[in-house]
């Protein structure tokens, strides 16, 4: 699949997301999300909606990053977005899937420990 169906580069958005996470920059991370974005985290068994909930989720994680946090292992385009294997804020292997709004903002993410099926 090519990125041509998008008016933006979804892989670049994900790289920016990884960079923001690696640097612990909450503001840069949230600039990438839509106001009504949702997050499904199988690791913690939570489903969150909106920036306030996402902020409460990400802020403590970005304040205690492991040395290998947000290191990219694999990234591929999928039928509805991007799938990424990376190291969590704790350095654990995770798989996360991203879906985007037409304008290129992150609309939805779902993550799970690597090896478990992610909710799309």
Per-residue pLDDT reduced to its tens digit, 34-84: 999 999 999 899 999 998 999 999 999 999 999 999 999 999 999 899 999
Closest CA to 82 of 113, 32, 120: 120
Residue 6: band (very low, low, confident or very high) from pLDDT cuts 50, 70, 90: confident
**Is the pLDDT confidence value at 117 over 80?**
no
CA atoms within 13 A on the CB side of 95: 12
Domain boundaries, the chain: 3-113
| Whole-model pTM over 0.85 | yes
* Angstrom distance (rounded) from CA 120 to CA 102: 17
CATH 3.40.1280.10 applies to domain 3-113: no
Confidence of residue 3 (pLDDT cuts 50, 70, 90): low
Q: Are 93 and 24 in contact (CB under 8 A)?
A: no
């Amino acid at each position: 699949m090519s990125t041509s169906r998008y008016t933006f580069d979804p892989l670049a958005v994900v790289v920016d997301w990884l960079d923001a996470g690696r640097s612990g920059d909450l503001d840069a991370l949230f600039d990438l999300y839509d106001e009504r974005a949702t997050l499904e985290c199988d690791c913690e068994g939570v489903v969150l909606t909106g920036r306030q909930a996402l902020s409460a989720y990400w802020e403590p994680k970005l304040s205690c990053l492991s040395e290998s946090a947000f290191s990219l292992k694999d990234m591929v385009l999928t039928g509805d977005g991007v799938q990424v294997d990376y190291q969590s804020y704790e350095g654990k292997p995770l798989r996360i899937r991203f879906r985007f709004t037409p304008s290129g903002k992150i609309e939805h993410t779902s993550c799970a420990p690597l090896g478990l099926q992610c909710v799309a």
